[in-house]
Amino acid sequence: MQEHKQPTYVKSITLRDPTDVDEIKLDMKKHNVVIIRVTPLAQKDIDELKKVVKELYEFTQSIGGDIARLGEERIVLTPPGVKVWKGVSDMK
């Protein structure tokens, strides 16, 4: 198990604009779990939301984290060492 000098926080962010991505990436680098509400950006520009989610997916994968959808309105990003349970096969 990894030891961290800083505690791991769970942070909730509402994604209103693509510029919010930098804050999310910073939180991930601090080893935090980030829950993102995507509805406001989805209502403004669905294509922009797709670009942002793709960027966050690639970033999360590049640092060894995990990403998953939580229902219709949210996604969760986890830092390295924290995985999102997605089904029975994950528990092997």
| Residue-level pLDDT at 5 | 73
* Greatest Cα-to-Cα distance within the chain, rounded to the nearest angstrom: 41
Distances (CA, A) of 19 to 25, 28, 38, 75, 82: 11, 15, 13, 17, 25
Cα–Cα distances in angstroms (integers) from residue 34 to residues 42, 61, 63, 92, in the given order:
18, 14, 14, 25
Instruction: Convert the pLDDT of each residue in 11-47 to its tens digit.
Output: 999 999 999 999 999 999 999 999 999 999 999 999 9
Model pLDDT for residues 60-90, shown as the tens digit of each residue: 999 999 999 998 999 999 999 999 998 766 5
Pairing of strands 33-37, 10-14: parallel
Confidence of residue 3 (pLDDT cuts 50, 70, 90): low
Going from N- to C-terminal start, the domains of the chain cover 14-81
Q: Is the domain covering 14-81 a CATH 3.40.50.150 domain?
A: no
Q: Supply the mean pLDDT for the chain.
A: 90
Q: Is pLDDT larger for residue 17 or for residue 5?
A: 17
